[in-house]
Amino acid sequence: MTSADFRVESNHPIAGRLLPVSGSQQYFFSDRALAVAMAAKSFTRPSGQEIRVVHVPTGEVVFRKAGSSRTEFNDE
C-alpha cells in the first residue's frame, strides 16, 4: 500500500479539531480506520454537507457521512 491509499473528501471545505489543517476539501491517509475516524469526527463549512472516504486505487467509496440538517432545533 502507498502512503495515500485513502482520501477523505467533500465538495465543501472540511474542518475538525483532529485535522492537521482545516479548510481543505481533501485529506490523504494510509490507514483505512484512521481515514474513517477522521471523516466521522469532521464537519463541513457550510455545515450539513457530505464527507466521503475513498479508496484511491479503486475509487470505491468505503465510508460516507451524509450531510445532516439539524432538526432538533426546529419549532414545528
List pLDDT tens digits, range 52-63. Answer: 999 999 999 999
> In the chain, where are the structural domains located?
6-67
Band of pLDDT at residue 47, cut at 50, 70 and 90? confident
Task: Give the C-alpha separation, 39 to 75, whole Å.
Answer: 30
> pTM for the complete prediction?
0.82
CB of 67 closer than 8 Å to CB of 48: yes
Give the start-end residues of each E strand in the chain. 6-9, 14-15, 26-29, 43-44, 51-55, 60-65
Q: Which residues contact 46 (CB under 8 A, 6 or more apart)?
A: 12
